[in-house]
Structure 1
């Protein structure tokens, strides 16, 4: 008898409804959660739905359905398979090279896949507090070693666009008589193209590679500096961990209303251009990134403050030599 090689992925060949089928029109909680997760990830990266759809090669309508919990039923079928295997779905979906070697024995890739599977299953069982401690322990263990004094000589400002990073950074660098670096400018120099050209011509993944290279370069070239970083840098774990390990980080924050007012004053509405729900999107981005921004060494709130007051508040937060 001929066997269907992909019975679980071919929805037409397998017309059975999922075991937990629901009445028509009622959304599955898992698909709803999945949609919220994708929307949160998109917000963390500061991408519009149009940008993500273009980068993924899917229609905006498909992406909208996915984000609202009306995604393809094959996701639920795959989840059922993971449940029958008694493993978290990320283990099934993980892109880990686990092919067997030509002799039919499990090679290095197979060991990597097995280790990854065990790690994900262990992490999935940890309480939130323990998970945060594991993350920080891994960051310290795997990040390049740097003395406390060396970190303190590099001040990195993080936060959403419009918080005042560039203005404060220039003022702080002038007051301390040290170099001021805009990482955006370093990224453009690294790529030989403007930020908009990088995104439109090469895509999000290429931008992240240039961002990491630019950060590595400025860290090599400057033992002392004030660095203003792009708002979305925190969404790339390797790049953000490098920044945290090599710089004294300050989260520059303000209210959503002031973020929006300052962005409009700069004439820059990315990624809200043409979006009538710009403030809603900005709040969503800020909410999604807050747990990441909160990993900074300290934070300052520039809401309702003039430049001089914000600079004084920033300098008061900086570490002093022992």
Structure 2
């Protein structure tokens, strides 16, 4: 008598996907594993097992985790039933590859099935807050003669309220839904533009794939201490207020998101760089057909000179 292993394999896949979903939502909220465990009233070890797909969990505990993540159980348990056979085969094939080969496979898929780089006229800037997306994005748009779109502003326009109010009323799930709507609306309206994204957008695979498909994506990065210093210099002391582990949390968040940020087509490190130097690096990393639409990397615009003088 033979025993099928299919149910066990299905359960393993479900646990892996559940763990990935919990980890992604926690990252989006900039929440440490310890903080989520405390808020959901479960042990940190139990949560670690869940996030790595090794631990089963009761419905009651999962409900507490969902509440702590400002979402619903249904949002955590994404069903695989709607997959086509081809999608399942692709997932299983890629799952068996080492991490470096998975990245190569993703790159090949994007090269084969997305717009050719020379046809893209949209630039999307990704990275944590404080990397320079707002400043460099506006200057880059001016150089290229393209509109500059702050995706958070589009979200607020769609919602008719601030992001803080969106989170208070609808939680993480409501905000992600609006963020996706804002991205697709922006892409439909603008064949060419520079987009400043929110720091956590890369944690949503569907939105990250959309960016990689429709835009030339640049990861703006800097050292953790400079992320924090720049945010505080803008007058926002919330990251440090009553948070003695704020820097450790920031480093942990960066480590968690780095695999997603690193999918970008190019990376610009703004550490210890002037605005003009960072803009020059940004222009140099663009595809030739996009950079040619600007004024070159020499003659600075009025805005750039003002930043340099300030």
TM-score computed with the length of structure 2 as normaliser: 0.69
Matched, 1:61 2:32: no
CA contact (8 A) 1:180 1:227 kept: yes
Q: Match for residue 189 of structure 1?
A: 157
Q: Match for residue 29 of structure 1?
A: none
For the aligned residues, what is the CA RMSD? Answer: 3.7
Q: Looking at secondary structure, tell me which structure has more helix per residue.
A: 2
Of 233, 237, 259, 1:265 maps to: 233
Q: Match for residue 149 of structure 1?
A: 118
CA contact (8 A) 1:43 1:288 kept: no
CA shift for structure 1 position 278: 0.4
Matched, 1:125 2:135: no
Counterparts of 1:78-117 in structure 2, within 5 Å, are 95-96=78-79, 98=81, 112=83
In structure 2, relative to structure 1, the CA distance for the partners of 1:296 and 1:114 (3 Å cut) is closer
Q: Match for residue 137 of structure 2?
A: 169
Q: Match for residue 68 of structure 2?
A: none
Counterparts of 1:26-45 in structure 2, within 5 Å, are 41=24, 44-45=27-28
Q: Deviations over 1:186-225 (max 9, x none)?
A: 1111222211111111011121111111111111111111
CA shift for structure 1 position 185: 0.3
In 2, the alpha carbon distance for the partners of 1:289 and 1:97 equals: 24
Q: Match for residue 182 of structure 2?
A: 214
CA shift for structure 1 position 125: 3.0
Matched, 1:244 2:199: no
Segments of 5+ residues of structure 2 without an aligned counterpart are 1-15, 59-75, 293-310
Q: Match for residue 19 of structure 1?
A: none
Q: Match for residue 178 of structure 1?
A: 146
TM-score computed with the length of structure 1 as normaliser: 0.67
CA contact (8 A) 1:46 1:285 kept: no
In 2, the alpha carbon distance for the partners of 1:274 and 1:149 equals: 48
CA contact (8 A) 2:231 2:237 kept: yes
Q: Deviations over 1:242-280 (max 9, x none)?
A: 011111111111110100101112233566653220000
CA contact (8 A) 1:43 1:285 kept: no
In 2, the alpha carbon distance for the partners of 1:183 and 1:77 equals: 36
CA contact (8 A) 2:124 2:195 kept: yes
**SS in structure 1 opposite 2:154?**
helix
Q: Match for residue 295 of structure 2?
A: none
In 1, the alpha carbon distance for the partners of 2:41 and 2:157 equals: 36
In 1, the alpha carbon distance for the partners of 2:44 and 2:162 equals: 30
Of 38, 47, 59, 2:30 maps to: 47
**SS in structure 1 opposite 2:194?**
strand
Segments of 5+ residues of structure 1 without an aligned counterpart are 1-32, 79-92, 99-108
In 1, the alpha carbon distance for the partners of 2:22 and 2:57 equals: 22
In 1, the alpha carbon distance for the partners of 2:153 and 2:249 equals: 26
In 2, the alpha carbon distance for the partners of 1:192 and 1:63 equals: 39
CA shift for structure 1 position 293: 0.9
CA shift for structure 1 position 157: 0.8
In structure 2, relative to structure 1, the CA distance for the partners of 1:250 and 1:117 (3 Å cut) is closer
In 2, the alpha carbon distance for the partners of 1:130 and 1:68 equals: 26
In 2, the alpha carbon distance for the partners of 1:320 and 1:115 equals: 36
In 2, the alpha carbon distance for the partners of 1:120 and 1:209 equals: 25
Q: Deviations over 1:75-124 (max 9, x none)?
A: 4599xxxxxxxxxxxxxx964265xxxxxxxxxx6xx4987776655544
Larger radius of gyration: 1
**SS in structure 2 opposite 1:62?**
coil
